Structure 1
Amino acid sequence: MLVPTQVHLKNRAMLYLLVCLWTSNASADDVNGTWFLSVDNDTFAQSDDHYTNGLQIGWVSGYLEEFSEGPVPDIVAAGVSRLPLINGQGRQRFISHSLSHRIFTPNDTDTTEPIENDMPYSGLLFGTFTAGAQDEEKMDAFSFHYGLAGPSAQGENVQNEFHRLIGADQVNGWDNQIGDEILLNLGYEHRRRLTSFGSTNGWGGDVIGQLGGTLGNLISMATAGVGARFGWGVPDDYGIPPQFFGEETIGSRPYTSYGTDTGVWLFTLLNGSYIANAIFWDGNTFKDSMSVDYDPGILRLYVGVKARSGDWSGSFSVVKTTVPWDNPTDRNSQTYGRIGLTYTY
């Protein structure tokens, strides 16, 4: 049961999330942008454990001369205008707002008993504000995550209501989930075009390097990776999957313009992270809760396809990730699918 202070914090956090998204919509007439939706689900592995579902919806601006032109409070625009890397001369600036919901569960979702040596139940609901910039060779982006973990994130209701709709069994162990906690996290991601070939109006592709890191009670980690794309009409953007919990569409706008009205290309990304803490593994930061001991290293491999036609684009990818703890099933990897949809105006 939530005490009045927790209810008050929950309501304030939810109000702020909605205000950010509403503000971006209200300013759409002033600054062109892109709406995006991405869905992660482990149905492709025919399981319902570990990272079982993720949903992100949001908006990214068109290019800005100054961050103050975007839908952000003046004090925030003044702050990000002083950050290094994203305020150089001639760089294409952008901002984005998003709302994300994530669900994590252990392997055995039938029992009502606490489960040792496996990932605890957790639901996460958080918003993300990102400010970034790019040029012909590289892209940099800073992000701020804010939200809730625990029962107030409604992971149990979302998962079991979806199971009811599809006729699946109910998940029974949510009484053992981590407790309520406010989430605050900072993130940074750098992408660099290492090489490119062909052209944007025909066959071509590129190789893009990735570096990043996050710090906070959501997750603290360092990430490095390399991605490649090949196909017809590959734009000169930085459109590879972000580091975990990153903004889906940073780097999704071309540096120049689309070379063709339509395009389709394959993409792949291999990255690795060193994780110092993650609330969905370590449990609550300031009180006792379920948790799991894990190795700090994790690898992820993305393989997918993306297609674009006019203002719309869609993508599908399969993600293979290592499981860095000795779980009850002795599995050392997990597979989930990702679907993305964007509309640019």
Structure 2
Amino acid sequence: MSRLPAFSRHCALPWLSALLVVVASPADADGLFTLKSENDIYSGGSDGHYTNGLEATWSFQTSPEHWLNDLADRLPGWSSGELDGGAYRLSHQIYTPLDIGEEALDVSDRPYAGVLLGGVSLFDSTPHDDWRRLRTLNLDAGIVGPAAGGETIQRELHHVLDSEKPRGWQYQLHNEPILNLSYETAWIGREHLNGLEVEYGPNLGFALGNLYTYGSVGGGVRLGENLSRSFGIPSIAPAQGGRSFFLPDQGFGWYAFAALKGRYMAHNLLLDGNTFEDSHSVDREEWVGDALVGVAFNWDRWQLSVTHAWRTKEFREQPESDSFGSLSLAFWY
């Protein structure tokens, strides 16, 4: 296995620090900063498969001179006049087999992989009489492999927590640059129920790139107070940059949510293995489904959301479905 020892062991944290400065730059006034943690420990699951994810997002309204307006004008079906906002995003993810204490390669379980991504998103919303359409376009670039630092981060974290030492990272995916485009559109209706508001509707989407290529269909529902102050259901990987937004300085609000999503996975680098080199891989399931439930609380300039996710088997020899959780904290700068 070809590796870049010095680079792979030490580059991830400087990348994260430098890109976080870009993501959290105050150049875009009145931005919403969101820090999201995804981990199987939140759901009581084992330390395997999608074992950890961390995402930082800076969402903002775009001024007329912002470069995202020029980008929107160049894209088919988009325009700066309809652009509702944008976001910068930085994420890191770690994937492992179930038995991280096994030194030998388990060919029946998923590969070790670290993923480091930086991305940009465009948002627009089109209001109608009693419903609205929301659209999100995401472009992500990054790297998978030793350069993403997954091995170093997991080893050091487990050392600090005195947890089981992962022993199979020598079989992780090789370094490979990533470029991925994803799009989702949702149609949202609103009703009132016993003094509460209800939002619901279907969504369609797709992703195209060497990390993921898929088509998706799903639907979601939110139930709570003052839903017009917020919109969006927190996303879970492989979805990138789902918009979960709220208006600041409007007191306390809350909502509960549930969602279902199905994907036809035409390609998943993290299961199919490297594109240009031989690497460990497993037989991917083509149809994968997610179920999400959770709750979000807004107060003044802060929002806290908690999500629990169940996912069907992603590869053929996977013994059972996975579950993991997500915690998200957002605040207006």
CA distance in 1, matches of 2:234, 2:23: 26
Contact 1:36 1:341 in 2 (8 A): yes
Is 2:119 the partner of 1:128? Answer: yes
Task: Identify if the C-alpha distance between structure 1 residues 286 and 196 changes in structure 2 by more than 3 Å, giving closer, same or farther.
Answer: same
Alpha-carbon offset, residue 324 of structure 1: 3.1
Correspondent of 2:62 among 64, 69, 77 = 64
Contact between 2:62 and 2:69, CA under 8 Å: does it hold in 1? no
- The unaligned stretches of length 5 or more in structure 2 are none
Q: Is the 8 A contact 1:86 1:140 kept in 2?
A: no
Equivalent residue number for residue 37 of structure 2: 39
Name the counterpart of 2:169.
174
* 2: CA distance, partners of 1:51 / 1:299: 15
Q: How far, CA to CA, are the matches of 2:278 and 2:209 in structure 1?
A: 18
| Residue 84 of structure 2 corresponds to residue 86 of structure 1 | no
Distance in 2 of aligned mates of 1:316 and 1:171: 28
Paired AA for residue 117 in structure 1: S
SS in 2 for 1:204: strand
**Structure 1 segment 3-42 matched on structure 2, within 5 A:** 18=18, 21-22=21-22, 25-28=25-28, 31-42=29-40
Q: Secondary structure at the match of 1:64?
A: coil
Q: Closer, same or farther in 2 for the Cα pair 1:198/1:117, shift >3 Å?
A: same
Q: Tell me, what secondary structure is at the counterpart of 2:74?
A: coil
Query: Aligned partners of 1:212 and 1:25: how far apart in 2?
Result: 29
Kindly provide the amino acid, as one letter, of the partner of residue 18 in structure 1. A
2:223 matched to which residue of 1? 230
Task: Specify the SS of the correspondent of 1:292.
Answer: coil
TM-score normalized with structure 1 length? 0.85
Question: Which of 322, 326, 329 is equivalent to 1:341?
Answer: 329
Q: What is the rounded CA distance, in whole Å, between the counterparts of 2:216 and 2:94 in structure 1?
A: 22
Match of 1:212 among 196, 202, 205: 205
Q: State the match for 1:280 in structure 2.
A: 270
Percent sequence identity over matched residues? 27
Give the distance between the partners of 2:162 and 2:178, measured in 1 at CA.
33
CA distance in 1 between counterparts of 2:73 and 2:239 reads 21
| Aligned partners of 1:189 and 1:211 also within 8 Å | yes
Distance 1:18 1:322, change over 3 A: same
Map Cα deviations across residues 150-191 of structure 1 (whole Å, 9 max, x no partner).
011111111122212222111111111010111111111112
Per the alignment, in what secondary structure is the counterpart of residue 279 of structure 2?
coil
1:106 aligned to 2:97? Answer: yes
**Residues 156, 41 of structure 1: alpha-carbon distance in 2 compared, 3 angstrom cutoff:** same
Query: Whole-Å Cα distance in 1 between the matches of residues 314 and 11 of structure 2?
Result: 35
Contact 2:234/2:244 (8 A) holds in 1: no
Structure 1: distance between partners of 2:303 and 2:262: 27
Structure 1 residue 57 displacement after superposition = 0.7
- Mapped to 2, the partners of 1:21 and 1:80 lie a distance apart of 24
Query: What stretches of structure 1 move > 4 A for 4+ residues in a row?
Result: 1-4, 14-17
Q: Does the alignment pair 1:308 with 2:298?
A: yes
2-structure distance, mates of 1:207, 1:264: 16
> 1:140: how far off?
1.3
Contact 2:180 2:207 in 1 (8 A): yes
> Which residue identity lines up with residue 84 of structure 1 in the other structure?
P
Task: Encode CA deviations 1:210-258: one digit per residue, 9 max, x unaligned.
Answer: 211111111111111100011223235431133633344525246xx88
Q: TM-score, normalised by structure 2?
A: 0.88
| Residue-pair matches, total | 325
Deviation at 1:86, TM superposition (A): 3.4
CA distance in 2, matches of 1:299, 1:243: 12
Question: Given the alignment of the two structures, is residue 184 of structure 1 paired with residue 195 of structure 2, yes or no?
Answer: no
Whether the 8 Å CA contact 2:11–2:148 is kept in 1: the answer is no
Q: Which runs of 5+ in 1 are unaligned?
A: none
> Residues 253 and 192 (structure 1 numbering): CA distance in 2 closer, same or farther, change over 3 Å?
farther
Aligned to 2:285: 295
Return the alpha-carbon distance in structure 1 between the equivalents of residues 220 and 116 of structure 2. 28
Q: Distance in 2 between matches of 1:56 and 1:278?
A: 20
Q: Find the aligned partners of 2:312 and 2:235 in 1 and give their Cα distance.
A: 17
- Equivalent position SS for 2:157: helix
Alpha carbons of structure 1 residues 169 and 17: separation in structure 2 relative to 1, 3 Å: closer
User: Once the 2 structures are TM-superposed, how far is the Cα of residue 326 of structure 1 from its aligned partner?
Assistant: 3.2
Question: Residue 158 of structure 2 is aligned with which of 153, 156, 163?
Answer: 163
